[in-house]
Amino acid sequence: MPGALSDIRVADFSRMYAGPFCSMILRELGAEVIKVEFRESGDACRTIPPITDGGEGYTFSMLNRGKKSITLELKTEEGQKIARELISKCDVMLENFKPGVMDRLGLGWDDVKKINPGLIYASLSGFGQTGPYAHKPAFDMVAQAMGGLMSVTGFPENPPTKCGPPIADLGGGAYTAIGILAALQHRHSTGVGQHIDISLQDSIWAMTAVESLAAYALTGTPPGRIGNMHPGIVPWNVYQARDGYVVLCILTIGHWQKFGRIIGRPELVEDPDQCAMVLRVGRRAELDGIVAAWVKDRTIAEIVQMMDEAELPCSPVLDTAQVVNDPHMKSREMTVEVEQMISGPLKMPGTVFKMSETPGDPYNPAPFLGEHNGEVYTELLGYSEEKLGELMNKEIV
């Protein structure tokens, strides 16, 4: 079944996590993604552990499923000329170098829009293409720190803490994909391409501000770390049961009244005026202590059953093995096996795009370095076998 983006071709000059996550989304939705890699080493993510028994970077294999890999030496004039030929035949170009790098290679937006006016050119960097920090190097953790996330993550008695997964890279990649889709729709209406400038710091702040900005704007004091609690909802926390941890999220007055009766504390919910959220937040320590005391004497299964029967939000805290084997996640095919040519079958995350006509396709393997040189250079760019051999001998591809 053709994907929603099956008529879109992407020249992907990105590497590591953020850019490849963006192009992975586009590929999963059907786009043809041509990954342009360094000639000798390729994307550095290829060698980041864990490494499969076949010697392939496992994370690389996840982030680059279904893409076509070509090698190209961009530091040579001939390599840059070839890159421009490729870009002229693409709908989208994606890069996540530091600002200025692509300009120095003659592959910046002002250069390539002349040869492909309808091009969607997406730049994804730590701090964006403008501003005083634009040329600072950044990785995910730097963006988490500079975007405010680490200041509100963790417990008050502990140091600022990063989010477990690389949320700046993944969030920035997702925002870039959204920008590309919007730009493609604009081009469909107008025929005009455009430059997209996405910053990891901007992306983290956009997510962090949802709960952090209001508190600062209203009080003048930045919020701090409150662990697993919610700044404006009580009870909302991770609680220790007899055999592990459970999450309880009690939002509405109706939820709170149900919960009070379940834990045998009717006095907490008899007066509806005392059930309002603002009053519960004011009694945070007292109410959270009551909930914690009730949870600690029960098993996870007992708590989840009672909460499910009352239709109250509750869950155990699952680890990776439990998520992979969770019956609901299995029913939604959220862990799949992808057959890698070198490493054999590898477990990968399934697609989140459950779409009736054009569902996402997560089953294509990641390429080995330069796997598609012959296809792209001869079939797409029209080079002869002799020309391709010459480029290989000159160490350009």
Q: With pLDDT > 70 as the criterion, what percentage of the chain qualifies?
A: 100
Are residues 175 and 127 part of one domain? yes
Are residues 155 and 279 part of one domain? no
Using omega within 30 degrees of 0 as the cis cutoff, is the peptide bond preceding 235 cis? Answer: yes
Q: Average of pLDDT values for 76-95?
A: 97
Are residues 379 and 304 part of one domain? no
* pLDDT at 57 > cutoff 90: yes
* pLDDT at 134 > cutoff 80: yes
What's the pLDDT at 88?
Answer: 97
Are residues 253 and 138 part of one domain? no
Tokens 């000798």 belong to: 40
Nearest alpha carbon to residue 177 among 375, 378, 390, 5: 5
* Number of other residues whose CB lies within 10 A of the CB of residue 138: 19
What's the pLDDT at 359?
Answer: 95
The parent domain of residue 61 ranges over 9-207+331-393
216 lies in some domain: no
Burial class (CB in 10 A: 0-12, 13-18, 19+), 385: exposed
326 lies in some domain: no
Q: What does the mean pLDDT of the chain come to? A: 95
Residue where one domain finishes, among candidates 318, 346, 370: 318
Q: What string of DSSP letters covers 79-141? A: HHHHHHHHHHT-SEEEE-SPTTHHHHTT-SHHHHTTT-TT-EEEEEESS-SSSTTTTS---HH
Contacts for 371 with CB less than 8 Å, ≥ 6 apart = 68, 69
Cα–Cα distance for residue pair 142/9, rounded to 1 Å: 32
Tell me the pLDDT tens digit for each residue of 197-221. Answer: 999 999 999 999 999 999 999 999 9
Contacts for 389 with CB less than 8 Å, ≥ 6 apart = none
Active site residue 288: no
What's the pLDDT at 207?
Answer: 97
Are residues 379 and 351 part of one domain? yes
* pLDDT at 151 > cutoff 90: yes
225 lies in some domain: no
- Global pTM value: 0.94
- Helix (H) / strand (E) element for 201: namely helix 200-219
- Helix (H) / strand (E) element for 11: namely strand 9-12
77 lies in some domain: yes
* pLDDT at 273 > cutoff 80: no
Q: Which of 12, 43, 91, 169 is catalytic?
A: 169
Are residues 294 and 353 part of one domain? no
Are residues 288 and 158 part of one domain? no
Are residues 97 and 166 part of one domain? yes
Are residues 184 and 89 part of one domain? yes
Residue where one domain finishes, among candidates 285, 318, 351: 318
Backbone φ, ψ for residue 45 (5° rounding): -65, -15
Q: Average of pLDDT values for 57-85?
A: 96
296 lies in some domain: yes
Long-range contacts for 388-391 (Cβ within 8 Å, ≥24 apart)?
391/78, 391/82
Residue where one domain finishes, among candidates 318, 344, 369: 318
Cα–Cα distance for residue pair 55/57, rounded to 1 Å: 7
Q: What is the CATH number of the domain that holds 288?
A: 3.30.1540.10
Structurally, how many domains does the chain consist of?
A: 2
217 lies in some domain: no
Q: Average of pLDDT values for 275-291?
A: 92
Are residues 309 and 187 part of one domain? no
pLDDT band at 272 (very low <50, low <70, confident <90, very high): confident
| Four-CA torsion 253, 259, 264, 267, nearest 10 degrees | -10
Q: What is the DSSP letter of 45?
A: G
pLDDT band at 274 (very low <50, low <70, confident <90, very high): confident
185 lies in some domain: yes
What's the pLDDT at 271?
Answer: 82
Q: Average of pLDDT values for 53-81?
A: 96
What's the pLDDT at 103?
Answer: 96
Paired tokens of 20 = 């490849």
246 lies in some domain: yes
Q: What is the CATH number of the domain that holds 25?
A: 3.40.50.10540
* pLDDT at 1 > cutoff 80: no
Cα–Cα distance for residue pair 311/75, rounded to 1 Å: 61
Q: Average of pLDDT values for 349-364?
A: 96
Are residues 386 and 268 part of one domain? no
Are residues 367 and 314 part of one domain? no
* pLDDT at 118 > cutoff 80: yes
* pLDDT at 269 > cutoff 90: no
What's the pLDDT at 307?
Answer: 96
* pLDDT at 40 > cutoff 90: no
- Report the DSSP beta bridge partners of residue 122: 94, 196
Q: Average of pLDDT values for 72-96?
A: 97
What's the pLDDT at 133?
Answer: 96
